[in-house]
């Protein structure tokens, strides 16, 4: 009993002296479970690879909690060096001038060269300034893709759909074969934000909110979006689509149990799904409407990015830059991609995984990245809207009411537009 | 009676200081901060704030959504308070009357109180789960297609059921000890005068229980207003969507998830005022009818 203890004590003392010489930086994140463990592994790899810097990752709960703690800490002057902020919170942090140092500036100031072109198309804009400068460093990036129950397809004798029109023709056959044809997990991300992206339709004025916060208006009453939700509701009534509330897992469960034929999930679900799915599955792109002109463009990234908080000493900023540099190296990206299912964000990492035959073994792992690399359009780069977490809550509420039969699609989308525009105007006042 | 005198006039203040310090740090200071920021529109990171007067209050009170949540909160609080007090009292009176194996009954009823609130909430959630919940399957036997998380009223039902269930043992313990403090002689005299147990309860037991019941009324109302936060959070799984929520959950959503500090502060001040008014009302009008001796 004494030996391991004293050994541990020795190791502790040793690592303490080692990190005393090094510059310490902290990294607050909102990941839990397996994804949280992988973050610790990434940090350990960084600490082992060099001795000048030591990074300590700290889990702050969920994405929302991580952002709230980061904000509270910043106000108290106790901010971490690196804060992970999720997609919907991006506008909050990017619109706060002086809260963060742009990742690109940080990296170039540390003496590295920064090549935007090294990143794959779909991740380049979402966390960037209007001129393309990277403000946040994309980290865990995912795309909404369609998972396919291969057994269901065989039984019904159909192929996975490319478009929603295809889906409409095969849905009755799947239903006849005893399956629920379609489930999804997040109507806001998958059927709203990425609907605009996949069909190359403008989501909000002011260049989807990127150019300015002043007088930004959301385009929720777009006739195409009305059509999408009218169809979803009709499919739900006919038994082609199942809606089980706004919770992610309540909807995913039907696919895991093999009861649903298609599930719109996240490319980041891949790792978990391999363990929980009871039937063999594959994956394909998020379908689009062939009838909409110019549809079929790429989706933008979901997930989160890392932001370098301002107000830190030069030496620590250098370490943060080192860490960002380390994080985007092909080997680390490939490790993270394979361990979690989040997409590789650089072309080099993607090529590396490909050359090693990873996608031959697991073709479903490649779908997300391929979807992000599809041709992009003017409106497929994402959005930047303030108070967006609250706007999502309004959407969730109204979408729930549509499927509970408490309101009509037109009513619901109109309500969302009105309330969202009020919030956007309010945000413009706080940021202005 | 012996009067206690302090040798120095400052000594009593010294003794009360630790308690006051805690109240100051955890109640007065945050309250003042909340009142202050409720008049401002503020950028979350604290770079700038604009004085907006009462517009945060007007925005909250004028929103149809806020009014709907307030209405639900009233109904929810009334139902949870009434049901948890009523059922707790019924069980206590019945357990008090049991002669054989009474300690077993009492222990079994109190037991639930030992379960940590989040665990209780989680258990309740499992019972009402859309896919595996036994209570959902049971309801289906009667043709009730219960969809907790999807249907507003079904979720409300489940929230109330879990909140009440969690609070019953608390009321049970207090009412039971209240019952046991009623002297045996009084009970026996009542039993001789009146054969009807129900009438004895209304005319003798309940008035003697009034101090306990009044205390529990206040506790249960604050429980329903504030402490059910955990149950609601577990129940809606972090996504309120079209499910019912209470005012305190709305404060959390806007403040901590939405980072709208001004709006959320205004809402919490409104809640503070509600509790303040409610407490004054209870002490002035209900407590008058309560006899302590």
Write the ipTM: 0.83
CB distance from B240 to chain A under 8 Å? yes
Under 8 Å between Cβ of A291 and A161 = no
Q: What is the pLDDT of residues A343-391, one digit of tens each?
A: 999 999 999 999 999 999 999 899 999 999 999 899 998 999 999 989 9
Between B159 and A34, the more confident residue is B159
In a domain, B74, yes or no: yes
Find out whether A301 and A372 touch, Cβ atoms under 8 Å. Answer: yes
Give the model's pLDDT for residue B108. Answer: 83
Q: Assign residue B109 the CATH number of its domain.
A: 1.10.3720.10
Residue A247 and residue B239: Cβ atoms within 8 Å? yes
Residues B119-168: tens digit of each pLDDT: 877 888 889 988 889 999 999 999 888 888 888 999 999 999 999 998 99
Residue extents of the structural domains in chain A: 21-142+301-364, 144-298+386-431
Whole-angstrom distance, CA of residue B236 vs CA of residue B150: 10
Q: How many other β-carbons are positioned within 10 Å of the β-carbon of residue B107?
A: 10
Give the residue with greater pLDDT, B122 vs B225: B225
Flag whether pLDDT at A125 surpasses 70. Answer: yes
More confident residue, B77 or A62: B77
pLDDT at site A116? 93
Dist CA A344 CA A142 (whole Å): 9
Q: Which residues of A touch B239 (CB under 8 A)?
A: 245-247, 393, 396
Q: Do A92 and B44 touch (CB under 8 A)?
A: yes
Nearest to B65 by CA among B225, B247, B236, B256: B247
Tell me the per-residue pLDDT of A234-289, one tens digit each, with 9 for 90 and over.
Answer: 999 999 999 999 988 889 999 999 999 999 999 988 878 888 888 899 999 999 99
Would you mind telling me the total number of residues written for chain A in this entry? 432
Comparing B163 with A432, the larger pLDDT belongs to: B163
Rounded CA-CA distance A202/A83 in Å is 30
Question: Does B45 lie at the interface with A, CB-CB under 8 angstroms?
Answer: yes
C-beta of residue A159 within 8 angstroms of C-beta of residue A153 = yes
Q: Would you place residue A21 in the very low, low, confident or very high pLDDT band (cuts 50, 70, 90)?
A: low
Task: With respect to residue B162, please indicate whether it lies within any of the assigned structural domains.
Answer: yes
Cβ pair B155, B233 in contact under 8 A: no
Query: In the numeric block, which tokens belong to residue B187?
Result: 């009970």
Q: Which of A1-5, A408-412, B52-56, B73-77 has the lowest mean pLDDT?
A: A1-5
Q: What is the model's pLDDT at position A6?
A: 46
User: Among the listed ranges A62-71, A124-133, A361-370, B119-128, which one has the minimum average pLDDT value?
Assistant: B119-128
Is there a contact between A380 and A299 (Cβ–Cβ < 8 Å)?
yes
- Asked if A389 and B241 come within 8 Å (Cβ–Cβ), the reply is no
Domain A21-142+301-364 = CATH 3.40.190.10 = yes
Asked whether the beta carbons of residue A400 and residue B243 sit closer than 8 angstroms, the reply is yes
Average pLDDT of the segment spanning A173-190: 96
Name the band, by pLDDT with cuts 50, 70 and 90, for residue A156: very high
Chain B residues with beta carbon closer than 8 angstroms to that of A403:
150
pLDDT, position A298: 93
Burial classification of residue B174, based on how many CB atoms lie within 10 Å of its CB (0-12 exposed, 13-18 middle, 19 or more buried): buried
* B59 vs A contacts (CB less than 8 Å): 426
Q: Judge whether B22 lies within some domain.
A: no
Let me know: does A253 contact B133? Beta carbons within 8 Å. Answer: no
CB spacing of A96 vs B44 below 8 angstroms: yes
Cα dist. B278→A65, A220, B30, B258 in Å?
32, 41, 21, 29
Could you tell me which residues come within 8 angstroms of residue B30 by beta carbon, excluding any fewer than 6 positions away?
A: none
List the domain range (segments joined by +) for residue B169.
64-244
Which residues, in sequence order, are bridge partners of residue A26? Answer: A56
Is the confidence at residue A15, as pLDDT, over 50? no
Contact A138, A126 (CB under 8 A): yes
Asked if B51 reaches chain A (Cβ–Cβ under 8 Å), the answer is no
pLDDT number for residue A119: 92
Distance CA B21, CA A329 (A): 52
Q: What is the mean pLDDT of chain A?
A: 91
DSSP-H helix ranges across B181-289: 184-193, 197-200, 206-222, 229-236, 247-252, 261-281
Has residue B276 been placed in a domain? no
Q: What is the pLDDT of residue B2?
A: 57
For residues A118 and A330, give the distance between their C-alpha atoms in angstroms, rounded to a whole number: 11
Q: With a cut of 60, say whether residue A18 has pLDDT above it.
A: no
Nearest Cα residue in chain A from B48: A430
pLDDT in tens, B80-129: 999 999 999 999 988 888 767 778 888 888 887 787 777 877 888 889 98
The alpha carbon of residue A140 is apart from the nearest alpha carbon of chain B, in Å, by 20
* Residue A224 CB neighbours (<10 A): 16
pLDDT at residue number A2? 44
Contact present, A380 and A292 (Cβ < 8 Å):
no
Backbone angles phi, psi at A82, to 5 degrees: -125, 130
Number of independent structural domains in chain B: 1
Option in B46, B237, B258 nearest A387 (CB): B258
Higher pLDDT, A237 or B278: A237
Q: What is the mean pLDDT of residues B161-182?
A: 90
Instruction: State the CATH class of domain A144-298+386-431.
Output: alpha beta
Which of A188, A175, A184 shows the shortest CA–CA distance to A145? A184
State the count of interchain CB pairs (< 8 A) between A and B: 112
Q: What pLDDT is stored for residue B285 in this prediction? A: 77
Pick the residue of A259, A420, A430 with the most B CBs within 10 A to test the interface with B by mutation.
Answer: A430
């Amino acid at each position: 009993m004494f030996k391991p203890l004293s050994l541990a004590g020795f190791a502790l003392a040793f690592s303490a002296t080692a990190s005393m010489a090094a510059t310490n930086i902290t990294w607050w994140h909102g990941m839990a479970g397996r994804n949280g463990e992988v973050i610790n592994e990434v940090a350990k790899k960084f600490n082992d690879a060099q001795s000048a810097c030591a990074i300590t990752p700290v889990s702050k709960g969920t994405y929302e909690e991580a952002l709230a703690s980061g904000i509270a800490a910043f106000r108290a002057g106790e901010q971490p060096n690196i804060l992970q902020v999720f997609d919907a919170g991006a506008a909050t942090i990017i619109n706060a001038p002086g809260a963060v140092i742009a990742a690109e500036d940080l990296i170039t100031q540390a003496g590295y060269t920064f090549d935007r072109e090294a990143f794959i198309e779909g991740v380049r804009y979402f966390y960037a300034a209007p001129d393309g400068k990277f403000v946040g460093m994309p980290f865990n990036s995912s795309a909404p893709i369609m998972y396919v129950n291969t057994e269901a397809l065989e039984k019904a004798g159909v192929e996975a759909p490319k478009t929603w029109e295809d889906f409409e023709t095969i849905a009755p056959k799947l239903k006849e074969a005893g399956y629920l044809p379609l489930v999804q997990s997040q109507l806001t991300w998958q059927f709203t934000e990425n609907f605009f992206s996949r069909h190359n339709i403008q989501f909000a004025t002011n260049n989807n909110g990127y150019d300015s916060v002043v007088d930004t208006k959301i385009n929720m009453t777009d006739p195409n979006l009305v059509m999408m939700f009218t169809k979803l509701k009709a499919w739900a009534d006919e038994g082609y689509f199942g809606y089980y509330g706004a919770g992610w897992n309540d909807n995913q469960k039907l696919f895991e149990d093999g009861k649903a034929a298609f599930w719109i999930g996240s490319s980041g679900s891949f790792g978990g799904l391999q363990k929980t799915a009871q039937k063999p599955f594959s994956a394909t792109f998020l379908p689009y409407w062939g009838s909409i002109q110019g549809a079929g463009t790429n989706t933008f990234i979901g997930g989160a990015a890392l932001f370098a908080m301002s107000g830190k000493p030069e030496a620590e900023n250098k370490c943060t830059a080192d860490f960002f540099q380390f994080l985007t190296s092909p080997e680390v990206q490939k490790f993270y991609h394979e361990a979690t299912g989040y997409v590789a964000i650089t072309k080099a990492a993607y090529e590396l995984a490909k050359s090693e035959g990873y996608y031959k073994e697991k073709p479903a792992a490649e779908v997300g990245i391929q979807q992000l690399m599809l041709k992009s359009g003017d409106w497929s780069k994402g959005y930047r809207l303030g108070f967006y977490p609250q706007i999502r809550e309004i959407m969730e509420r109204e979408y729930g009411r549509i499927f509970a039969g408490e309101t009509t699609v037109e009513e619901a989308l109109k309500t969302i537009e009105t309330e969202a525009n009020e919030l956007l105007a309010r945000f413009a006042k706080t940021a202005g | 009676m012996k009067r206690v005198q302090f040798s120095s006039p400052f000594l009593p203040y010294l003794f009360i200081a630790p308690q006051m310090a805690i109240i100051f740090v955890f109640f007065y200071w945050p309250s003042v901060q909340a009142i202050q920021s409720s008049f401002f529109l503020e950028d979350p990171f604290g770079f700038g704030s604009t004085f907006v007067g009462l517009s945060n209050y007007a925005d909250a009170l004028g929103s149809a959504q806020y009014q709907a949540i307030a209405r639900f909160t009233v109904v929810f609080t009334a139902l949870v308070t009434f049901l948890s007090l009523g059922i707790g009292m019924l069980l206590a009176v019945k357990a008090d009357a049991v002669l054989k194996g009474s300690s077993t009954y009492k222990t079994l009823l109190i037991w639930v109180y030992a379960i940590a609130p989040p665990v209780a909430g989680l258990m309740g959630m499992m019972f009402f789960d859309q896919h595996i919940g036994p209570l959902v399957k049971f309801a289906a036997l009667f043709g009730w297609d219960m969809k907790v998380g999807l249907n507003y009223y079904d979720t409300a039902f489940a929230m109330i059921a879990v909140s009440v269930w969690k609070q019953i043992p608390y009321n049970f313990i207090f009412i039971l000890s209240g019952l046991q403090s009623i002297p045996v002689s009084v009970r026996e005299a009542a039993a001789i005068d009146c054969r009807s147990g129900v009438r004895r309860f209304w005319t003798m037991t309940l008035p003697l229980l009034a101090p306990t019941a009044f205390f529990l009324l206040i506790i249960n109302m604050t429980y329903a207003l504030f402490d059910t936060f955990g149950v609601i959070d577990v129940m809606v799984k972090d996504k309120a969507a079209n499910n019912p929520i209470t005012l305190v959950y709305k404060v959390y959503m806007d403040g901590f998830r939405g980072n709208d500090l001004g709006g959320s502060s205004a809402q919490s001040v409104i809640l503070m005022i509600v509790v303040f008014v409610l407490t004054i009302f209870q002490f002035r009008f209900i407590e008058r009818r309560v006899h302590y001796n």
